[in-house]
Amino acid sequence: MRIYLATGNPGKAREFADLFAAYDIEIAVPEIMPDVDENGATFAENARIKAQALFDLIGENVIADDSGLCVDALEGRPGIYSARYAKPGKRRLKILEELKDVPPEKRTARFICALCFIEKSGKMTICEGACEGHIIDRSRGTNGFGYDPIFQPIEFDKTFAELSRDEKNQISHRAASVRKLMDKCARTGEVIG
């Protein structure tokens, strides 16, 4: 079974391909991605906007995510603006600069991932997963992408960027959202595809 993922981010595509492989689901990236104005007020709304745009274009099983980092000391920022919080290459530095006077115990944060799955029939399912942790004082690690080098999940003494692919895929916000989606489908007796 194949689901088309609404993303142009190769890191996300790889992570979702790994996560869905456990369910014998192939994740494919479409050749053409529609231009989408992510103007929702929540992660779930933005995921729905992206999924609907791709579904309208190809009419196949599609899934989209909207995810980001929410830092408590920054009143939840960058949140839904995580990908646009600063110029590329400067986002982590901006977070670290904003937190420079914040003590470690006040640097709690979470990654959130909202998924919107639209079946070929048009039926829509939305769910959300999270991974709790905190922001460290400098970048560490070379795996992952985005804010991964400054986020340390509560389950490990390593950042997301220091975790192996398997370790990250056990605890990440994307893993949590995929599990919730599959559990939701199993509870309602639906079969994805």
Residue type, 99: L
Classified by CATH at the fold level, domain 2-187 comes out as: Maf protein (3.90.950)
Please determine, for residue 190, whether its predicted confidence score (pLDDT) is greater than 60: no
37 catalytic, yes or no?
Answer: no
Considering 56, 66, 72, 183, which one is annotated as catalytic?
66
pLDDT at residue 193, as a whole number? 46
Residue among 44, 78, 47 nearest 151 (CA): 78
CA distance 72 to 89: 22
Residue among 39, 141, 51, 116 nearest 84 (CA): 39
Query: Using one digit for the tens of pLDDT, what is the confidence trace for 8-17?
Result: 888 889 989 9
pTM of the model: 0.91
Are 145 and 153 contacting, i.e. CB atoms less than 8 angstroms apart?
no
Query: Using one digit for the tens of pLDDT, what is the confidence trace for 108-161?
Result: 999 999 999 999 999 999 999 999 999 999 999 998 889 999 999 999 999 999
CA distance 148 to 141: 8
Q: Domain map of the chain by residue range? A: 2-187
